[in-house]
Amino acid sequence: NGNSTAYAQILTWSAGRLRWYFNRRVFANGPLEVEDLVQDTLLVVHAKWHTFDPSRPYVPWLQAVARHKLIDALRRLHHNVSIPLDDVQD
């Protein structure tokens, strides 16, 4: 509700929670960078904050946003996979 200090605190807390979440789901030194996922998710949280219902728990909402960002990243990663035609069977 316009409290910039509280908003900064929730974003800082969320960033830590998101790092924990993504570190457990992304392979170390893999093609997906945890910090990129954290930043992308925080941007969505900022943009979609109006969809959060304060009468409901925050963490499940945050995890849903994070899960969608992870799925999007995995889709992008696998969308660029190419298979030589010689390797494809009829």
Chunk the chain into consecutive blocks of 10 residues (it has 90) and report each block's average pLDDT, rounded to whole numbers.
Answer: 87 94 76 86 93 93 93 77 57
Q: What's the confidence (pLDDT) of residue 80?
A: 56
Token pair for residue 1? 């509700």
Q: What's the confidence (pLDDT) of residue 79?
A: 63
The one-character DSSP state at 87 is: G
Q: What's the confidence (pLDDT) of residue 30?
A: 63
Say how far apart CA 86 and CA 9 lie, in whole Å.
54
The position carrying tokens 């304060």 is 54
Q: What's the confidence (pLDDT) of residue 10?
A: 93
Q: How many residues does the chain have?
A: 90
Token pair for residue 2? 């316009």
Residue type, 74: L
Q: What's the confidence (pLDDT) of residue 76?
A: 79
Q: What's the confidence (pLDDT) of residue 84?
A: 65
Q: What angle do CA 41, 42, 43 make, to 5 degrees?
A: 90
